[in-house]
Chain A
Amino acid sequence: MNDPLAQLAAEAVADPDLTYFAFAAGARSGPRVPPLMPTSAALPEVLCGRYRIERLLGVGGMGAVYQACDLLREQFGDPQPYVALKTLGEDFAEYPDASALLYSEFALTSRLRHANVVQLHAFDIDPLSQRAFITLELLSGCTLDRFIDEHPAGAPWGDAREIGLALLEALAHAHAAGVLHGDLKPSNVMVGDQGLRLFDFGLGQAQENRLPGLPQLCRSRFAAWTLRYAAPELLDGEALSAAADIYALSCVLYELCTGRHPFRRLSGKQARAMQLQAEASVLAPPIARALQAGLAFDPARRASLEELLQAFRTAPQPSSRLMRWLGRWPA
């Protein structure tokens, strides 16, 4: 497509009865063409005459990801013609600018070039069904929630450190590029042969005053999260921030290292109301201190990514098999 953003620009004043969640908060360039008409039709078997849907890989609250065969690549004999293909769910058909949300994810993620961030191929719209979709690299391996489930007492430190550093570096890269993730959780991290990949920037946003002109998800109109990983201030209605990403990532890292959610699977808001503190005796003291600071309920007191990175880079190995068996660390 020549100018997908122009095609997607929604006419926010066209109909006051319609709810918009993108563009509503200060899109800088005015819309140039009318919005696409979203559709509630079932997903076609082949999109754009090129991508044949093969199987469903995952379902989220907002959409679904399929494995698809790229028929063009197959025609040219590519032995691995498969891609992942993400579409929004029919729930979003009622929003006139639903496709802009998906484009926003594409635009944000495309700006990231990091070994631990998923690589997107293209954003497209099936002309017949008017379905917008993203194609991206097909990842093999298992998601981090399964890895955590298979290590109920916490991952071995070597694995936890490797995964933790890769995740922290991926998020640091995104933040440095002005991109907030907005929905960090174990099932949005793939661990496999290709290494670790952070994916699903579907609730992502550009940081304030960064990437001007890009469609912005308007959280006052459309708020979404995964309850157990959302920072308490997000649940209070505050805007997404780098600190909120750090809270979510600290939850994930704590779960990875201990096998348990830091607040017994309560939401950040519930944990704050009960003044809970993540139990830290099973962690190496530098990691415990960093994660507890990362889980601070007050975003102003929360650890920075650099502090978390430093802790994961320098934390010692368990001193002996006995200490490891006991799950205790020298002070």
Chain B
Amino acid sequence: MSALAERLRSAARTDTGKVRARNEDAFLDLPERRLWVVADGMGGHERGALASRLIVDRLAGLPDERDLQVRVQGLRRCLHEINRRLHQQLTVTAERPDPVIGSTVVALLLEGARGACVWAGDSRCYLWRRGRLYQLSRDHSLEQQLLDRGELSPQQAARHPAAQALTRAIGVAEPLSLDILEFDIFPGDVFLLCSDGLYRELSVGALGAALSLPSPQLAIRRLFDEVLGGAARDNLSAVVVRP
């Protein structure tokens, strides 16, 4: 694949949205390394933005291996290290003894006909395959936990006052538990990584319609036009990959 063709197989964008003062999201779009990431930071002042940037900058510095298992292992080790830094190794002040400095992360790694998705938190990975949308990641949120327990209906769970509270993220607790999904890649597959500021503003139909467009660049433009045409209450980030 030529360098240009390689670059064109993915597209990414982030936006502060219409309400938030600062963008705490970060993304990584490295088609030449077959690595894509979205991170959604949290914490006061600039802490959330620093946490998400630290994740993407550190992951960008990982060695370029050709073995998917080795790459996944390196990525996991790096995320565990960042978690330790932002948690037990963090210098704190007496005024703020327990500062929140953390981030969600969802990463997509591809190698040949195999792929892996690694995540913590509620940033998502979707797969568009043969006209259907699949959510590959499962949110680490209270809403998802309530649904998994079967105690509440989706509507009830969504109305829970702390529905969007995260049950896992980088920098929040130890030990960190990352979820990993490995899968085969089929011709025509399209992947979407995104923060909750994007998927909460769009229907499943709107996500699918964007991913069915012929290029990642068109898909990104459609997704952002739709969200920014609405309330855009949160920061939003997306990466679209057509392997």
Contact = CB atoms under 8 A, between A and B. Distances in A.
B50 A56 contact: yes
B89 A145 contact: yes
A329 interface: no
Contacts of B180: none
B54 interface: yes
Contact of B88 (A58, A90, A146, A265): A265
Given A145-B84, A145-B85, A89 B50 contact: yes
Contacts of B53: 56
Interface in B46-76: 46-47, 50-51, 53-54, 57-58, 60-61
A223 B51 contact: no
Nearest to B85: A187
A56 B89 CA distance: 17
Nearest to A59: B50
Interface residues of B, number: 30
Find the residue from A186, A203, A224 having the highest chain B CB count within 10 A.
A224
A55 B54 CA distance: 8
Interface residues of A, number: 30
Interface in A184-215: 185-187, 202-203
B81 A145 contact: yes
A228 B87 CA distance: 11
B92 interface: yes
Interface stretch (B30-38, B93-101, B195-203): B93-101
A226 B58 CA distance: 23
A38 to B, nearest CB: 13
B47 A89 contact: yes
Given A56-B50, A59-B50, A224 B94 contact: yes
Nearest to B52: A56
Interface of B: 22, 44-47, 50-51, 53-54, 57-58, 60-61, 80-81, 84-86, 88-97, 99, 101
Interface of A: 42, 55-62, 64, 89-91, 145-146, 149, 183, 185-187, 202-203, 222-228, 265
Nearest 8 Cβ contacts at the A-B interface: A223-B94, A61-B91, A55-B57, A187-B89, A224-B93, A56-B57, A90-B45, A90-B46
11 contacts: A56-B53, A59-B50, A61-B90, A89-B46, A91-B45, A91-B96, A222-B94, A224-B91, A224-B93, A227-B97, A228-B88
